[in-house]
A and B are shown apart, each in its own frame.
Chain A
Amino acid sequence: MSREARIMFLHYITGIVILVAGGIHLWTVFLTAPIEENLRFDNSPFAVLNVYRNWVLAGSLEALLIAVAFHGFNGLRVILLELHQGRAWTRTVNLAVSVVAVAVTIYGTRTILIASQIA
């Protein structure tokens, strides 16, 4: 498999990860209790801190974060490379989307790690 084929294979795999982890995320936010209750900081079963404290839910959020960062920014990369071609453009787009995707993943991971320890 060429490099681009491997990346597109990962695009489809992360799509499946998002289907599962995104389903869990929507379930915890919308279907476990009225949304106002689930947006509370603490003191209800699926309040934000309790979601981060539960390692299964926090783990699925981390998986969702990594999968969406890859899937979304690779999608953006594919669109930008489809709209215009050229070596400099390809390099610039590849570098820019990679840097932003990694930065967003680091920031989101920080939130998950710190929020799970707030007591």
Chain B
Amino acid sequence: MGVRNSLASSLSAALRTWLIPRRYGVMRWSYTLQRISGVAITLYFVAHVVETGNVVGGAQVWTVPSYEYARNVWTETVEFLANPLFDAGLIVIGFLVFFHTVNGVRLFLAHFGIILGKPHRPEYPYTPASMTRLQLALFWLSIALALAALLYSVNVFFKVILP
């Protein structure tokens, strides 16, 4: 029996592994969250570029349109998007953007060797030397700032915390 490497089986096996990050410590959560947030932000980015395309009147406009036409299309777009469902979506995106950014800075610093620990002889309980306190602190900072962004955007869109 050969090694199974069909697209569907390897995709589902890999997704099962990284969508269930328990048992492997906080850095595994960081890995999974970084990927989920990255995919979500990229999808939002495409939607945002399409949505802001309405500033000039939409996808069919490739020359400078009249001021009134562009203003009307943009005003309709803003009115269409002003509802609690889209606001809630933006709040989630705000959380994910702040997490992805700060955790991304941690990954940048680790990738270039700035916050990696020094190698040492492996001894029980085999804590990886690379997982320094600074790395852990930056991970938790990314969660804290993401929560702060979430609270800030809840206030901006729903005005429930401050008037």
Binding site for B on A (CB under 8 A): 12, 15-16, 18-19, 22, 30, 35, 39, 41-42, 48-49, 52, 65, 68-69, 72-73, 75-76, 79, 82-86, 89, 100, 104, 107-108, 110-111, 114-115, 117-119
Contacts and interface: CB of A to CB of B under 8 A. Distances in A.
A118 B66 CA distance: 7
Given A72-B38, A75-B38, A76-B39, A84 B14 contact: yes
B124 interface: no
27 contacts: A15-B108, A22-B101, A30-B156, A41-B55, A52-B55, A72-B38, A73-B42, A75-B35, A76-B38, A76-B39, A76-B42, A82-B14, A83-B10, A83-B11, A84-B7, A84-B11, A85-B5, A85-B10, A89-B7, A104-B46, A104-B49, A108-B49, A108-B53, A110-B53, A111-B55, A114-B64, A118-B65
Contacts of B28: none
A82 B18 CA distance: 11
Interface residues on B, range: 35 or more
A62 B21 CA distance: 36
Contact of B10 (A30, A72, A84, A115): A84
Nearest to A76: B42
